[in-house]
């Protein structure tokens, strides 16, 4: 197990494949606020996210003295009773004065400046301009509402704390104990007992130790997680042969036919799926049921842990009210930066987002504005094809996935051989993931974040599909110096 210094600054490596299938230009990223284009600093290399949104009168945003305090304080299942003020203090104490802290301060200042520019733009728009833009969306709004519920029953199955659950299964002594899969560098998954202390995935382990000095670390065993995921998928195929996996621990199922054949509603069918998974693997799963995939994904979060939740879709008015009450962050694709931007301007719910649709149309690109318009209405994208929208036909992974990535955070090192070995490991995992989902990547990107937080990246085209990923990644790291 690697043990980095007790200050942030581990190196971070990521290999990613993109352009998995033809598709529209990506929306502006969450970091594109007020810039008119992608940010050059730490732009995500995985699935594209929409931009942050600015609404209302111009405001002044100030930089917090603890820029990392918000990073690990968004709610996850099992964290209902967490004292997030204590988490903020722990993060601050573990990070203040470090290169990582200074880098986050810089990013925070950059974001504040971008938000100021965007809100200034919004303040210059007249009421007549906004009203005209709002009226222009009426046709698209009608289309989205009409396609929000096509009479299908979608279910998202999400394995609960998957890596940790597998470790508990193999070592019963871990059951109920606070532990994390990962190391003092980075945590992949935290057990629910650890989450009660504010410890969560993507948190540096040395920060977690500030919250719970007795926290136990369990090294990840990806071969076991892949094997258990295969067992889970065998169960899912009994309910929807064309289900679409979204990583090792999540999948989208179209249960319309199953419900019709067994005379069950979506919630009962979801419980059947969960019970079958537990019987076959001993693992717990949560599920969300809704008339489209996007809402089913949101609903699964409400079902955690070890439960199921169905969106109130029988009554269109009740469905609309439920969607309007959703926090914007619940919508897949709206991340932390977008949430902070919205909150700084008083926009917190999907209802707020829909009410501001005219302003959104004026401030953002057509693709981004359309995304936000759909988000505000809870309208998913259910193209035809098996788990991708229809029934009984193979899903088209490109309907929902535009890229796939694998990454690893580790202690700083200058050893070239070690770096190349890590790239080979990452690229092998990435190639295996592409092969498992039948994806044909076209572009490979290698990103390396130095201990100084300088980011270097190389991209290359692929012609041999998943098999070419490992070879191209190794070449990229050699070319990168």
DSSP H helical ranges for 394-461: 416-436
Peptide bond into 287 cis (omega under 30): no
Q: Which of 104, 108, 167, 250 is catalytic?
A: 250
* Angle (CA) 212 86 410, round 5°: 55
- C-alpha 432 chain-centroid distance: 21
Determine the 3-state secondary structure of 420 from DSSP.
helix
Q: What is the pLDDT along the chain (481 residues), one digit of tens a residue?
A: 333 322 333 345 555 544 443 333 333 333 333 333 323 223 222 222 333 333 333 333 333 444 555 455 566 777 777 788 888 888 888 878 877 788 888 888 999 998 998 889 889 999 999 999 999 999 999 999 988 888 899 999 999 999 999 999 999 999 999 999 999 888 999 999 999 999 998 888 988 999 999 999 999 998 999 999 999 999 999 999 999 998 899 999 999 999 999 999 999 999 999 999 999 999 999 999 999 999 999 999 999 999 999 999 888 899 999 999 999 999 998 888 888 777 777 778 999 999 999 988 998 889 888 988 999 999 976 554 333 333 333 233 334 566 777 777 777 788 888 888 888 888 887 887 777 777 778 888 888 887 777 788 888 887 765 555 555 555 555 555 4
The model scores a pTM over 0.85? no
Distance CA 204, CA 207 (A): 5
- Which pLDDT score, from 0 to 100, does residue 433 have? 76
For 81, other C-beta atoms within 10 Å of its C-beta total: 9
Residue 250 bears catalytic tag: yes
Cβ-proximal residues to 13 (8 Å cutoff; 6+ apart), any chain: 407, 408, 409, 410, 419, 422, 423, 426, 446, 447, 448, 449
**CB–CB of 64/344 below 8 Å?**
no
pLDDT, tens digit, 9 for 90 and up, residues 39-85: 322 322 222 233 333 333 333 333 344 455 545 556 677 777 778 88
- CA-CA distance, 199 to 191, in Å (whole number)? 9
Separation of alpha carbons 395 and 397, rounded Å: 6
Query: Which pLDDT tens digit goes with each residue over 197-239?
Result: 999 988 889 889 999 999 999 999 989 999 999 999 999 999 9
């Amino acid at each position: 197990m690697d043990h980095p210094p007790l200050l942030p600054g581990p190196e971070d490596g990521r290999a990613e494949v993109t352009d998995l299938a033809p598709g529209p230009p990506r929306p502006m990223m969450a970091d594109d606020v007020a810039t008119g284009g992608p940010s050059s600093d730490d732009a995500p290399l995985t699935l594209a996210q929409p931009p942050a949104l600015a609404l209302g009168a111009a405001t002044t945003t100030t930089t917090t003295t603890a820029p990392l305090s918000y990073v690990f304080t968004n709610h996850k299942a099992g964290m209902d009773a967490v004292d997030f003020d204590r988490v903020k203090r722990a993060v601050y104490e573990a990070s203040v004065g470090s290169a990582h802290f200074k880098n986050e301060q810089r990013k925070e200042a950059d974001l504040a400046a971008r938000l100021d520019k965007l809100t200034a733009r919004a303040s210059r728009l007249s009421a007549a301009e906004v009203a005209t833009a709002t009226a222009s969306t009426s046709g698209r709004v009608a289309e989205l509402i009409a396609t929000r519920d096509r009479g299908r029953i979608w279910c998202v199955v999400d394995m609960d704390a998957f890596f940790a659950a597998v470790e508990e299964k193999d070592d019963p002594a871990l059951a109920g104990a606070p532990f994390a899969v990962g190391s003092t560098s980075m945590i992949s998954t935290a057990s629910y007992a650890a989450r009660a202390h504010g410890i969560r995935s993507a948190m540096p382990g040395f920060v977690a130790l500030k919250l719970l000095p007795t926290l136990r670390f369990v090294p990840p065993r990806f071969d076991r997680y892949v094997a258990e995921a295969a067992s889970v998928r065998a169960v899912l195929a009994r309910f929807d042969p064309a289900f679409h996996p979204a990583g090792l621990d999540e999948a989208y199922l179209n249960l319309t036919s199953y419900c019709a054949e067994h005379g069950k509603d979506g919630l009962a069918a979801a419980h059947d799926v969960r019970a079958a998974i537990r019987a076959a693997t001993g693992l717990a799963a949560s599920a969300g049921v809704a008339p489209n995939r996007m809402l089913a994904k949101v609903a699964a979060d409400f079902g955690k842990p070890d439960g199921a939740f169905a969106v109130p879709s029988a009554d269109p008015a009740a469905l609309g009210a439920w969607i309007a009450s959703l926090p914007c962050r619940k919508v897949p694709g709206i991340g932390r930066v977008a949430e902070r931007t919205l909150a700084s301007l008083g926009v917190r719910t999907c209802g707020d987002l829909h009410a501001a649709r005219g302003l959104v149309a004026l401030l953002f690109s057509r693709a981004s504005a359309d995304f936000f318009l759909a988000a505000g209405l809870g309208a998913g994208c259910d193209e035809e094809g098996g788990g991708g929208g229809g029934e009984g036909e193979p899903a088209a992974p490109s309907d929902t996935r535009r890229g796939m990535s694998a990454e690893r955070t580790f202690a700083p090192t200058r050893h070239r051989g070690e770096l190349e070995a890590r790239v080979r490991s990452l690229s092998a995992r990435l190639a295996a993931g592409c092969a498992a989902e039948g994806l044909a990547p076209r572009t490979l990107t290698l990103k390396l974040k130095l201990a100084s937080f300088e980011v270097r990246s190389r991209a290359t085209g692929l012609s041999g599909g998943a098999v070419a990923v490992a070879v191209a990644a190794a070449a990229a790291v050699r070319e990168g110096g």
